[in-house]
Amino acid sequence: MSRNALGARTQQVLSRADVRINGDRPWDITVRDARFYARVLRQGSLGLGESYMDGWWDCEALDQFFCQILSAGLDLGEMLNWNRVMVHLKTHLFNRQAKSRVAAAVGGHYDLGNELYQAMLDRRMVYTSAYWEGASNLDEAQEAKLEFVCRQLDLKPGMRILDIGCGWGSFAKYAAERHGVEVVGITVSKEQVELGQQLCRGLPVEIRLQDYRDVRELYDHVVSLGMFEHVGYKNYPTFMKAVHRCLPKGGLFYLETIGSIRSVHFNDAWYEKYIFPASMLPSVEQIGAAIEGFFVPEKWLNWAAHYDQTLLAWFGNFHAHWDRLKARYGERFYRMWRYYLLSSAGAFRARKTQVWQIVLFPVRAGRLVRG
């Protein structure tokens, strides 16, 4: 097929989402290399992302572009290509989130350098959705989010809390400072442990390099904010069992996770390769099956609109601080990170992805146990 024919075919597909090639609206795309057409039609979402990283096309408002195409049902990630087939096979043949593998996969994202995340995130370094109700900036919105979590758990001084996937200790530090609790935070990222320990120095907070499968102590409550996406469907029952055994009578489990509108077993090919290796988004059905016999949901909220706004704020910070980051990361990284943050914002805006805040009560011997 000629390049003109490929271009016409690509425009035909994009027209279903009211996106024009070389148009003048913010969500229209400008093609700078004609090889773009064959690459996208052949490789789907991987080709779209990599060709953007290579500078083959541009878009003034990537978040609007992705909202347009996802709202119209144009999911390029579903196109059949060899990379997608290989991810599918690996997912079913191996436990890609096994304890022996997960640290390397997670480190590929969270060990990119604390300087990057300090520039991009709020002053407390919260790397999950903020809560924007009544907030005027990212710092306020992230503090509101942390306070929301604390209130859902009804934290009291002297309580001992487990934070699974604690990041740089943002929740642990806030809960210890504002609510007088002790917190043990665990992560498999070495850079997060190093900085988290510094940020929480002098507080009743312990940041450990530890896998959730190895935790055996009892805690008053358990929190996991934005970590469940790295667990993998083969490990969901193991994860819920591990949390359940850490909770006494009356303990609560607060789970925050990005979610998919349908059950899948692997991630988008571009995100898998460049952003979150060996990750996947759970569905309502998958979470429901995993908690059966362990927990029942008391509250289940969707903060997709809040995450959209959070991602735009993160990109604003990243872009504003790029001059001091570019010597280390380079222009191709800038385009990759811009694509990651703004395509994610568009996905939340289109409700292609969700972010759930779930409060769970434990079940004991088939009975709901409340304090």
Domain boundaries, the chain: 3-79, 99-368
Provide the CA 264 distance to its chain's centre, in angstroms: 16
Q: 99-368 adopts what CATH topology?
A: Rossmann fold (3.40.50)
Contact (CB, 8 A) for 322 and 334: yes
Dihedral sign for Cα atoms in the order 254, 256, 257, 262: positive
Residue 77, pLDDT above cutoff 70: no
Can you tell me the distance from the alpha carbon of 213 to that of 208, in angstroms, rounded to the nearest whole number? 13
Pick the more confident residue, 119 or 2: 119
Residue pointed to by tokens 């699974």: 164
> 170-179 vs 138-153: helix axis angle to the nearest 10?
70
Pick the more confident residue, 291 or 366: 291
Residue 10, pLDDT above cutoff 50: yes
Residue pointed to by tokens 């010597």: 327
Contact (CB, 8 A) for 254 and 224: yes
pLDDT for the residue 42: 87
Confidence at 370, pLDDT banded by 50, 70, 90: low
Note the pTM of the prediction, 2 decimals. 0.90
pLDDT for the residue 277: 85
Mean pLDDT of the chain: 89
Of the candidates 182, 162, 186, which has an alpha carbon nearest to the alpha carbon of residue 173? 182
State the DSSP H helix or E strand holding residue 190, giving kind and residue range, or none if neither. helix 190-199
Residue 291, pLDDT above cutoff 60: yes
CA-only gyration radius of the chain, Å = 21
Residue 104, pLDDT above cutoff 90: no
pLDDT in tens, 299-350: 999 999 999 999 999 999 999 999 999 999 999 999 999 999 999 999 999 9
pLDDT for the residue 92: 44
